[in-house]
Amino acid sequence: MSSSTRRSGRAAFDDAPRYAQQRESFGRPIWRHQSVGNHLADMATKLTAARQLLLHAARCYDTGGRADLEAGMAKYFCSEVAMEVALGAVRVHGGYGYSTEFDVERYFRDAPLMIVGEGTNEIQRTIIAERLVARGGLPR
């Protein structure tokens, strides 16, 4: 992930469990409530998948061949995950997620830039489709 995607996605995730451990509701940390725990689990899973896709694109690039399909997939997926994770962090923080007192507000504001900057995700999907057709599908 680019450093700015990392700031939006990973940093938002890093803040969410920390907050969920400190904040209490009904006498227990909010992460113990199923819906908050589910947000944390979804965020961690998506970030792990995004990282693996990014590493795959980097390995393809390192071989010296074309990696535009893999890079397009990584950029598209990682930026969407950054947005979803930033939203998840806002949800975990509840009303405080909109407060400038917490960094997740900024991550949520910054995340859409990953989707429209450096080649919009609509363009990335066009590139992905073109490369898939040109290659005859995904390599095995």
Q: What token pair was written down for 86?
A: 């930033």
- Helix, strand, or coil (residue 29): strand
Burial class (CB in 10 A: 0-12, 13-18, 19+), 47: buried
Q: How far is CA 50 from CA 22, 24, 76, 93, 96, in A?
A: 27, 31, 10, 23, 27
By annotation, the residues acting in catalysis are 118
For residue 25, give the DSSP letter: E
Looking at the DSSP bridge assignments, the partners of residue 28 are 25
Name the CA radius of gyration of the chain, rounded.
17
Cβ atoms of 102 and 96 closer than 8 Å: yes
